Amino acid sequence: MVTLQTMDTIFYEAQRQGRISFYVTTIGEEAINIASAAAVTSDDFVFPQYREPGVLIWRGFTPQEFASQCFGNRADYGKGRQMPIHYGSNKHKYFTVSSTIATQIPQAVGAAYSLKMDKKDACVVTYFGDGGTSEGDFHAGLNFAAVTEAPVIFICRNNGWAISTPTSDQFRSDGIAVRGQAYGVRSIRVDGNDALAMYSAVHTARKMAVNEHRPILIEAVTYRVGHHSTSDDSTKYRPADEIEWWRMARDPVTRFRKWIESNGWWSGEAETQLRSSIRSQLLLAIQMAEKVEKPPVKELFTDVYDDLPSNLREQEKLLRETISRHPQDYPADVPH
């Protein structure tokens, strides 16, 4: 959780400095990320939204891999085609983030159904926000899962806001969990800022999903302390003192730290050393990622078709001609 918190601070600052184009923080939702990741196994597949980088941290995605993606350099697994924070990793069974809201939900159910048909001892975990439950894909996905009895865990981060739209303007039901029950999906509401509660709920949900072949919905109640993204100023639509109260009084990282300190497992000195070490690693990763060459122009057109069709060959030809005529308008660090 400290790594995630520190990474958010440094990468957010990098965006404000103009070094990367976009960023999304997970401030206030660290426990949901890390505790849920710890409660499942490396055999389980993850279909994220865009506020779950902590799951990748837990699975071993390195600071350098995060930085490479955000800078879109040659080492980025997406070859620079995606916006920053749209991570994906085959080796970590973490499907690439998609900006479009809730599309991952029915996809996750389909993947879970395939695991069931193949008799795999694994499940699928998919994440989304309260705003995602206002999309049709949420309803289609839950019904699909219930009918096929797919081993999928739906984790809704009910953080109160879909960008600037509060939950009161989205629905009048008693939260999200009741919707799962309406579709015949076993559902529970959890304090998303309590790492232990999240771990317990997801750990139990995984047992049910895999052993009983059933979907589970977990509504994790939390608060989005940060702005929706670097393109947003949340003080325009919610009180600054409300944000500050959640930041100071309800911070899940501080809450967990106090608990482990009270058990004698942690100390202020250890905390200081950890934060300093992580900060140094992240700053170094950014410095290295900035120096790595960008993917070549040809990568814009590959990896969709086995044999490049004529229309894409024509587009590539026109792009190269345009770059040759107007080199001043294109980044010098992108190989042609």
The CATH number given to whatever domain includes residue 2 is 3.40.50.970
d(CA 213, CA 117): 11
pLDDT tens-digit map of 171-190: 999 999 999 999 999 999 99
Average pLDDT over residues 14-27: 97
For range 79-85, the mean pLDDT:
96
- Number of domain units in the chain: 2
Do 114 and 194 reside in the same domain of the chain?
A: yes
Q: Is residue 336 part of a domain?
A: no
CB 118 within 8 A of CB 152: no
Q: For residue 85, what pLDDT is reported?
A: 98
Question: Do 313 and 208 fall within a single domain?
Answer: no
- pLDDT band of 82, cuts 50, 70, 90: very high
Q: Which domain holds residue 309?
A: 297-329
The yes-or-no verdict on residue 33 having pLDDT over 90 is yes
Single pTM value for the model: 0.96
Residues tagged active-site: 13, 99, 228-229
Percentage with pLDDT > 90 across the chain: 98
At 280-335, the pLDDT tens digits run 999 999 999 999 999 999 999 999 999 999 999 999 999 999 999 999 999 888 88
Rounded Cα–Cα distance for residues 202 and 217 (Å):
10
Task: Look at residue 335 in the predicted model and tell me its pLDDT.
Answer: 86
Residue 323 lies in a domain: yes
pLDDT at 303: 93
Per-residue confidence (pLDDT) for residue 144, from 0 to 100? 98
Give the count of beta carbons closer than 10 Å to the beta carbon of residue 268. Answer: 9
Both 283 and 301 in one domain: the answer is no
Residues 313 and 286 grouped into a single domain: no
pLDDT at 26: 98
Q: Does residue 47 belong to any structural domain of this protein?
A: yes
Q: Is the pLDDT of residue 163 over 90?
A: yes
Q: Assess if residue 334 is contained within a domain.
A: no
Is 5 among the domain residues? yes
pLDDT at residue number 142: 98
Phi, psi of 124 (to 5 degrees): -120, 140
Compute the Cα dihedral for 243, 244, 248, 249 and give only its sign: negative
Residue 321 in tokens: 């001609």
Q: How many CB atoms lie under 10 A from the CB of residue 316?
A: 16
Q: Are residues 125 and 263 in the same domain?
A: yes
- Mean pLDDT of all residues belonging to the chain: 97
Whether 306 is in a domain gets the answer: yes
Residue 320 and residue 279 share a domain: no
Let me know if residue 184 belongs to a domain. yes
- Reply yes or no on whether the pLDDT at 250 is more than 90: yes
Same domain? For 286 and 301 the reply is: no
Whether 283 and 252 map to the same domain: the answer is yes
Nearest 5°: phi and psi at 97? -60, 140
| DSSP collapsed to 3 states, the chain | CHHHHHHHHHHHHHHHCCCCCCCCCCCCCHHHHHHHHHHCCCCCEEECCCCCHHHHHHHCCCHHHHHHHHHCCCCCCCCCCCCCCCCCECCCCECCCCCCCCCHHHHHHHHHHHHHHCCCCCCEEEEEEHHHHHCHHHHHHHHHHHHHCCCEEEEEEECCEECCEEHHHCCCCCCCHHHHHHCCCEEEEEECCCHHHHHHHHHHHHHHHHHHCCCEEEEEECCCCCCCCCCCCHHHCCCHHHHHHHHHHCCHHHHHHHHHHHCCCCCHHHHHHHHHHHHHHHHHHHHHHHHCCCCCHHHHCCCCCCCCCHHHHHHHHHHHHHHHHCHHHCCCCCCC
pLDDT value, residue 11? 98
Specify the pLDDT at position 171. Answer: 94
> Quick check: is 335 in a domain?
no
| Same structural domain, 95 and 226 | yes
What is the widest separation between alpha-carbon atoms in the chain? 67
187 with 307, same domain: the answer is: no
Contact (Cβ atoms closer than 8 angstroms) between residue 214 and residue 186 = yes
Residues 160 and 199 in one domain: yes
- Whether the per-residue pLDDT at 336 is higher than 90: the answer is no
My answer on whether 196 and 307 are in the same domain is no
* Residue 249, CA distances (Å) to 4, 161, 272 in order: 19, 19, 20
pLDDT score recorded for residue 333: 81
- 50: pLDDT strictly greater than 90: yes
